[in-house]
Amino acid sequence: MYAIVRKKVLNETVTLMEIEAPLVARKARPGQFIIFRIDEEGERVPLTIAGYDREKGTVTIIFQKVGYTTEKLDTLEEGDRLLDFVGPLGEPSHTEGIRRAAVIGGGLGVAIAYPQAKALHDAGAEVDLIVGFRNEHLIILEEELKASCTNLIIMTDDGSNGHKGFVTQALQQQLDAGRAYDTVIAIGPLPMMKAVSEMTRPLGIRTIVSMNPIMIDGTGMCGGCRLTVGGETRFACVDGPDFDGHLVDFDEAIARGRMFRPEEARAREKHACRLMGEGK
């Protein structure tokens, strides 16, 4: 059992939890993920590792309440425990040799972009961190983001923080201003990562995207997280989650991501238990 040692509400839909998992914390690296299960009847849910403390033996996760399991997870408090917390899984991000990077995070992707930007910044790279939210009330980790980059740009869809627009527009502005990146890292919704990859393709800028398709076992056995990358089938759980954005078939990934939306919606609905005669 894995204890929740800290819980912090970041905004109305996003929560941070610090989980006691010393064996995971010992080997975790930026870019990797875990799979948790709340209880025996719970589904297996992958979450990117947002941080870790090897001395305390804890791993930080950040999640958005978008389905039945994450809504249930949010009801837990400090001192409660998770049944399973498996990891670290996946390949860590490879940041060697990067000297000037743009790290782009959209929505909850910001929680994944943060540790990658921090790793680059700590290694001495110059990092422009561009993040986007729907409005200023949904902005998370602002102080942590400022400390993990050279230049922080926060965009909001409605301009409520004074910077209206999308992360792609901010990236284009940096490119137009002559910023010469050797690497662009994009993390967030598939359409955003696709748009960034198409922007950098004609410029020949190495572009890395973090893919998070449907996963089941997280070890490459089920094939649920398969992607087409460079015309070949790859598995996000063992070959990724980082891939060359210029090689990913985003249209296929977007189509597959929509396949189970009806089932996800039904899982969120409350229904009466016919045996017990009560809500379940």
8-state DSSP, 147: T
Structure-token match 């990934």, residue found: 253
pLDDT of residue 12: 85
pLDDT tens for each residue of the chain, 280 residues long: 899 999 999 988 899 999 999 999 999 998 899 999 999 888 889 998 988 999 999 999 999 888 888 999 999 999 999 999 998 999 988 888 899 999 999 888 888 898 899 999 999 999 999 999 999 999 888 999 999 999 999 999 988 988 899 999 999 999 999 999 999 999 999 999 999 999 999 999 999 999 988 888 777 788 888 999 999 999 988 998 999 999 999 999 998 877 766 666 666 565 444 444 444 4
Write the CB contacts of 273 (distance below 8 Å, at least 6 apart in sequence).
279, 280
Say how far apart CA 197 and CA 12 lie, in whole Å.
31
Token pair recorded at residue 203? 């410029």
Q: Which CATH number fits domain 2-89: 3.40.50.300, 1.10.3720.10, 1.10.287.610, 2.40.30.10?
A: 2.40.30.10
> What residue type is 236 in one-letter code?
A
User: For residue 195, what are the CA distances in angstroms to 15, 57, 63, 189, 237?
Assistant: 28, 38, 24, 10, 23
Residues of the chain with CATH 3.40.50.80: 100-257
Tell me what pLDDT residue 273 has. Answer: 47
| CB 70 within 8 Å of CB 63 | yes
Check: CATH 1.10.1200.10 for 100-257? no
Q: What is the pTM of this model?
A: 0.85
What are the strands of the beta sheet with 84-89, ordered from one edge? 81-82, 2-9, 14-20, 58-64, 45-53, 33-37, 84-89
User: β-strand 84-89 against 33-37: which pairing, if any?
Assistant: antiparallel
Kindly list the distances between the CA atom of residue 280 and the CA atoms of 72, 82, 98, 272, in Å, as whole numbers in the listed order: 12, 19, 50, 6
Length of the chain: 280
How many Å apart are CA 53 and CA 148, to the nearest integer? 16
pLDDT of residue 278: 47
What residue ranges of the chain are covered by domains with CATH 2.40.30.10? 2-89
- Alpha-carbon span 134 to 103, nearest angstrom: 18
What is the DSSP-derived secondary structure letter of residue 219?
S
